[in-house]
């Protein structure tokens, strides 16, 4: 833990916000994006003390543990949390690799920065994620603010897009950028890349496009999109909640999707297979009251099956041109207001893991445990345990060993 211990004396000379920045830089390396206990700890005691507790330099009293429990239950999350000691054991292996000043220097060298809550550049709409608001954003690109959600549309979809999906994504993004919208996507091959390119080509705004990475922003991933992502760092923003050097793991992809959903007022799924990461983004968007829209396509195209699924499940709006998409962004405010008034749902008290599992559960034909494990990115054992919990809540039901959502889910 050379980074933080060396920096301990220097910290005293820094402003509060800069100390906070260094602490959050360190915490973002210690804690995975989905570490809800870690996020609650930061809420409870602040980033500086959280870092002290996470590294074992400070001890967390019973009152801190009580506060974390309260925060988790207030957020509607009830992980199997067995006290701070368990979490500390999870963080311990990474403590010796902490070097937040080095990471911050890397960002400066890349023409970037670390943005944290309280900064002018912090996108306020991320607060809609509640306890799952990210600790910080590692950010490459000109120092320009990210627009309000009403001026951002997420355009997402399959990596293996068809020429139809490519043309729709490009057209929509181009038209949205021309209308002054910013297009957010995930920087991946296929629909994401066509969305970024279309937005850059139509760019009439200061921030035509934003790419949210699952891994560190020091690397352009995937390599085939290097030129595109480099252009994004010149004209838009390349952001991630994980520090430089972080690999884009499957779980980080799923977590990254919540940032795409939260930045925008509307998430448009252009093409998606029956099981697709883009549907995960759509579910994130729905869960925080954002609008989900989708593009219809041929029923003979497997790449539109996920879109039709969203239409059939009733949550998504069918959009057929860029005007219809832009129109939706004006409606997002009403939807969010309406959303706040809805009563508690059975799924409100679920852990993130169980929510992901619930998202993965099909509404109609049932899925095997192995299939669910693949879709949800969880181990088969974790899936089995989660299905048990969801079953008790009446949210999942099984038929001959296969599972689907049940009526009230």
297 lies in the site for a copy of itself, by CB under 8 A: yes
Nearest of 260, 264, 233, 287 to residue 76 by alpha carbon = 287
Per-residue contact string for residues 150-189; x = within reach of a copy of itself by CB under 8 A:
--------------x--xx---------------------
Nearest of 138, 178, 184, 174 to residue 28 by alpha carbon = 138
363 lies in the site for a copy of itself, by CB under 8 A: no
What backbone phi and psi angles, to 5 degrees, belong to 99? -155, 65
Of the pair 126, 293, the CB lying nearest a copy of itself is at 293
Of the pair 212, 319, the CB lying nearest a copy of itself is at 319
Q: Which listed range, 36-44, 281-289, 320-328, 391-399, lies at the site for a copy of itself (CB under 8 A)?
A: 320-328
Among 143, 206, 321, 334, interactor with a copy of itself by CB under 8 A? 321
318 lies in the site for a copy of itself, by CB under 8 A: yes
d(CA 250, CA 256): 10
Among 116, 240, 295, 390, interactor with a copy of itself by CB under 8 A? 295
324 lies in the site for a copy of itself, by CB under 8 A: yes
Of the pair 201, 301, the CB lying nearest a copy of itself is at 301
128 lies in the site for a copy of itself, by CB under 8 A: no
Residue 342, number of CB atoms within 10 A of its CB: 9
Interface of this chain with a copy of itself, residues 30 to 89, rule: CB under 8 A: none
What backbone phi and psi angles, to 5 degrees, belong to 74? -60, -35
d(CA 406, CA 318): 25
Number of chain residues interacting with a copy of itself (CB under 8 A): 21
320 lies in the site for a copy of itself, by CB under 8 A: yes
Of the pair 311, 373, the CB lying nearest a copy of itself is at 311
Query: Ramachandran region of residue 377, left (φ > 0), alpha (ψ -120 to 50) or beta?
Result: left
Give min distance, CB of 310 to a copy of itself, in A. Answer: 9
d(CA 42, CA 53): 10
Among 304, 329, 351, 367, interactor with a copy of itself by CB under 8 A? 304
305 lies in the site for a copy of itself, by CB under 8 A: yes
Of the pair 21, 309, the CB lying nearest a copy of itself is at 309
299 lies in the site for a copy of itself, by CB under 8 A: yes
Among 111, 142, 145, 296, interactor with a copy of itself by CB under 8 A? 296
Could you give the strand order of the β-sheet that contains 237-240, starting from the edge strand earlier in sequence?
A: 112-115, 137-140, 237-240, 209-212, 182-185, 152-157, 266-271, 291-294, 317-318
Among 144, 312, 370, 398, interactor with a copy of itself by CB under 8 A? 312
302 lies in the site for a copy of itself, by CB under 8 A: no
Nearest of 243, 236, 107, 101 to residue 177 by alpha carbon = 236
308 lies in the site for a copy of itself, by CB under 8 A: yes
Nearest of 266, 275, 267 to residue 305 by alpha carbon = 275
Of the pair 57, 324, the CB lying nearest a copy of itself is at 324
Of the pair 110, 305, the CB lying nearest a copy of itself is at 305
- Interface residues with a copy of itself (CB under 8 A) are 164, 167-168, 295-300, 304-305, 307-308, 311-312, 317-321, 324
């Amino acid at each position: 833990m050379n980074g933080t211990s060396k920096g301990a004396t220097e910290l005293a000379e820094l402003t509060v916000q800069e100390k906070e920045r260094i602490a959050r830089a360190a915490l973002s390396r210690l804690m995975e994006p989905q570490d809800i206990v870690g996020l609650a700890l930061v809420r409870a005691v602040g980033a500086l003390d959280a870092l002290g507790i996470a590294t074992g330099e400070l001890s967390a009293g019973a009152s801190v543990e009580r506060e974390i429990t309260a925060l988790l239950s207030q957020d509607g999350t009830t992980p199997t949390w067995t006290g701070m000691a368990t979490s500390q054991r999870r963080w311990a292996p990474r403590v010796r690799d902490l070097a937040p000043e080095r990471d911050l220097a890397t960002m400066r060298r890349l023409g970037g920065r670390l943005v944290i809550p309280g900064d002018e550049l912090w996108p306020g709409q991320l607060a809609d994620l509640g306890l799952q608001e990210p600790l910080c954003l590692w950010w490459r690109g000109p120092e320009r603010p990210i627009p309000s959600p009403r001026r951002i549309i997420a355009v997402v979809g399959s990596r293996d897009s068809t020429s139809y999906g490519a043309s729709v994504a490009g057209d929509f993004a181009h038209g949205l950028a021309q209308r002054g919208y910013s297009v957010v996507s995930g920087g991946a091959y296929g629909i994401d890349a066509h969305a970024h390119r279309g937005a850059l080509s139509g760019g009439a705004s200061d921030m035509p496009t934003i790419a949210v990475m699952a891994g560190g922003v020091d690397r352009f991933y995937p390599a085939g999109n290097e030129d595109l992502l480099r252009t994004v760092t010149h004209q838009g923003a390349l952001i991630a909640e994980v520090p430089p050097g972080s690999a884009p793991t499957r779980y980080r992809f799923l977590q990254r999707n919540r940032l795409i959903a939260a930045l925008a007022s509307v998430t448009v799924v252009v093409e998606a297979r029956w099981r697709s990461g883009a549907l995960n983004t759509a579910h994130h968007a729905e869960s925080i009251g954002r609008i989900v829209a989708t593009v219809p396509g041929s029923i003979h195209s497997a790449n539109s099956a996920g879109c039709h699924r969203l239409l059939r499940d009733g949550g998504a709006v069918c959009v057929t041109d860029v005007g219809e998409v832009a129109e939706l962004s004006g409606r997002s405010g009403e939807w969010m207001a309406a959303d706040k008034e809805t009563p508690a749902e059975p799924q409100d008290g679920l852990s993130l893991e169980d929510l992901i599992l619930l998202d993965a559960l099909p509404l109609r034909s049932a899925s095997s445990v192995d299939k669910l494990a693949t879709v949800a990115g969880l181990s088969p054992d974790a899936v089995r345990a989660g299905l048990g919990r969801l079953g008790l809540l009446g949210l999942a039901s099984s038929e001959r060993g296969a599972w689907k959502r049940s009526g009230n889910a």
